Structure 1
Amino acid sequence: MSEDEDPAAGTTAGAADEHIKPDGLDLARALTRATAGSTPKSRTRTRKRAQPGQPGQSSRGRVGAAHPDDRDPQLLDATIGRLVEEHGWQLDLKVHAVLGNWAELVGPEIADHSTPESFSDGKVVVRTDSTAWATQLRLLAPDVVRRLNAELGNGTVLQIEVLGPAGPTWKKGPRSVRDGRGPRDTYG
């Protein structure tokens, strides 16, 4: 066989170059064909199948890099779903998703003046921007609990604690006097 002949294709390289210009894929195929025939028989061996329960076997019962197993990269959606399930975060995520749509649940006018702050042990804490809106929301609390339970499942939310606006703080520095009267104690 001469230098110009391709052993895998059975044609001369000069004849092939006249019709087809080799690109990267053609060159890779030619190299693969050329090296496949030159692999020593001593290096190739058959892989012994692992018996179930032996070390080195994946949980799916397959061994080898050619088949997918738990060590392969996983989709983010499946990984996060498994993480949420393992830690039992389904209810918390569902509650926070519903509280994230607070305006749709209570209406835009009430949502403009109130914000849900937390959820724990069946109690939702809501902060309002005035005492008048706190009173209004306390009157609507049974209806809001009913709507939340319709979205989340019966018995998920047991109580709504409505907090008014946070009062002003008189503390202006890092030091303070315990049982002091605040800024009024220096007024003469």
Structure 2
Amino acid sequence: MRESADTGETGDPPEHLANLPGMDMVRRALEEARGAARSQGKDVGRGRVTSTQRSPTVGRRRRWSGPGPDVRDPQPFSAAARDLAQSRGWSKQVAEGSVLGQWTTVVGDQIADHAVPTSLRDGVLTVSAESTAWATQLRMVQAQLLAKIAAAVGDGVVTSLKIQGPTAPSWRKGNRHVSGRGPRDTYG
């Protein structure tokens, strides 16, 4: 009947299908095509595409998260930062930094007004008190302070406290020092 311009083939059905009526001819041609595909190792079903043939985005319907919480929902920045610290192995450093950075919330306003953490090395937290009375008071409640810190940032971050009182000014200047009683009144 018609001849295709680019292939040179006619649009007529093959001779073995030509004498079948309408739909029977279509069914027979479809069965032959499936048989040929199976012989080449392709898995072809009735209009179904197997999971190995499907691309990751084709044929999937978008599922909405709905009214309940879902992993696809926006997450708080603190949760994202915590997950990042855990995946990179920074959890210990973050916990140590939170002791120093969140001192007021960890120990309370009253203690934070009179004592300041100065350093944290190898689990020993050095705290500087504003007076000798506060240093003595903090030494007496040292166990409770350690419990509060452990509850806030985790066990093992702070193992002991080193509480220091205020320090007197030093008259010593430079690298060299002469032993003795030090400066005296030279004006009299």
TM-score (norm 2): 0.48
Point out the structure with max Rg over C-alpha.
2
